Amino acid sequence: MKKMVLALGLMLLVSAPLSAELKYTTHMEVKKSTAAAGQPANPMIGMMSEAVMKQMVPEGAADVVYLVGDKGARIEYLQAAMGQPAGTVNLVTTDGTLVVMNTKEKTYWKTTVEATLANMRAAGIPLPEVAAKRTGQFETIAGAKCEVITFDWKMALPIPEAARASLPADFPTTMAMTGDSCTTTDQFQKYADIVAKGANALMSAMGFDKIAQGGLVLRQTLQMMGVEMHSVVTQIGEEPAPPNAFDIPADFKEVPMPGPGR
């Protein structure tokens, strides 16, 4: 489950140079869903849903700051979110290298998009089924116009075949989410195009390319078995990146990538 949450979190890549940087902040909150009626009353499913959402936003709310420029993407987690501890900074370079920095301990580890996909396959995480539909309805988020897109996301749980026979008859075998997003395809489109091209393999693996619909997602609501996660861009605009924003500090030490037992 932790690998699945981390995979959901590592979805922003850049693959070509830009003449400016785009900075935006996304606020995320998790709460009990008001649209839970009609869903199967399975306590096990409810516990699984809460566990996944708890890993995504452990404190119930979090802010993530994104900076996209000609050197790649910088993602800073102000609070714990998407499987990342508070203060974590991710750097995603144009060649697909991912650097995860622990700013408190002054350490970092590296991986790549290909390695992440390989880990997903090794963990038995299957491809999800995703259906998305443009609604023709528009909103304005942080001063930018966006179109509402509804979606259904469903993925079989990676349960080993040998373990299935010993599971209860009502044990959930799939994870499903419904929701809607608001995507801009007007302002900041040059950034959306580059993000989509760079993140295509990883986004497609989890089905989020269909939800983005070729644009930049400014608002999104995910509902999963009685729990809801809402994310919205609170501010967005182009501005010069701080010096060395895409560099690893000289006093940081490289450490092995975390794995089971570490």
**pLDDT category, 199, cuts 50, 70, 90?**
very low
What pLDDT, on a 0 to 100 scale, did the predictor assign at position 45? 60
Instruction: Check: CB of residue 101 under 8 Å from CB of residue 89.
Output: yes
What pLDDT, on a 0 to 100 scale, did the predictor assign at position 33? 72
**What Cα–Cα distance (Å) separates residue 66 from each residue in 89, 194, 206, 251, 261?**
10, 14, 20, 23, 30
Instruction: Check: CB of residue 241 under 8 Å from CB of residue 67.
Output: yes
Label the pairing between strands 174-184 and 216-224.
antiparallel
Q: What is the arithmetic mean of pLDDT over 216-231?
A: 87
Task: State which amino acid sits at residue 14.
Answer: V
pLDDT tens digits, one per residue of 235-254: 999 988 888 898 999 999 99
What pLDDT, on a 0 to 100 scale, did the predictor assign at position 14? 32
3-state secondary structure of 134: strand
Q: What is the pTM of this model?
A: 0.78
CA pair distance 185, 193, nearest whole angstrom: 9
What pLDDT, on a 0 to 100 scale, did the predictor assign at position 242? 86
The alpha-helical segments, DSSP class H, found in 18-167 are: 43-56, 113-122, 161-164
Instruction: Check: CB of residue 86 under 8 Å from CB of residue 61.
Output: no
Counting every residue written for the chain, the total comes to 262
Q: Which residue has the tokens 């528009």?
A: 138
Task: State which amino acid sits at residue 105.
Answer: E
What pLDDT, on a 0 to 100 scale, did the predictor assign at position 215? 84
What pLDDT, on a 0 to 100 scale, did the predictor assign at position 174? 80
Q: What is the arithmetic mean of pLDDT over 48-61?
A: 76
Weakest mean pLDDT among 4-8, 146-150, 181-185, 203-207: 4-8
Q: What is the DSSP letter of 152?
A: E
**pLDDT category, 15, cuts 50, 70, 90?**
very low
**pLDDT category, 181, cuts 50, 70, 90?**
very high
Of 255, 261, 259, the residue nearest 101 (C-alpha) = 255
What pLDDT, on a 0 to 100 scale, did the predictor assign at position 162? 76
What pLDDT, on a 0 to 100 scale, did the predictor assign at position 182? 94
37 or 203, higher pLDDT: 203
Cα 143–149–152 angle (5° rounding)? 140
3-state secondary structure of 208: helix
Of 193, 14, 11, the residue nearest 93 (C-alpha) = 14
- Residue 195 main-chain phi, psi, to 5 deg: -60, -45
Examine the pLDDT at 52 and tell me if it is beyond 50: yes
What pLDDT, on a 0 to 100 scale, did the predictor assign at position 235? 95
250 or 46, higher pLDDT: 250
Q: Who's near 246: CB < 8 A, 6+ residues apart?
A: 69, 71, 72, 74, 91, 93
Average pLDDT of the residues of the chain:
79
Task: State which amino acid sits at residue 115.
Answer: A
Examine the pLDDT at 49 and tell me if it is beyond 80: no
Task: List the chain domain ranges.
Answer: 2-241
**What Cα–Cα distance (Å) separates residue 99 from each residue in 27, 43, 81, 102, 253?**
23, 38, 17, 10, 12
Q: Which of 29-33, 88-92, 119-123 has the highest mean pLDDT?
A: 88-92
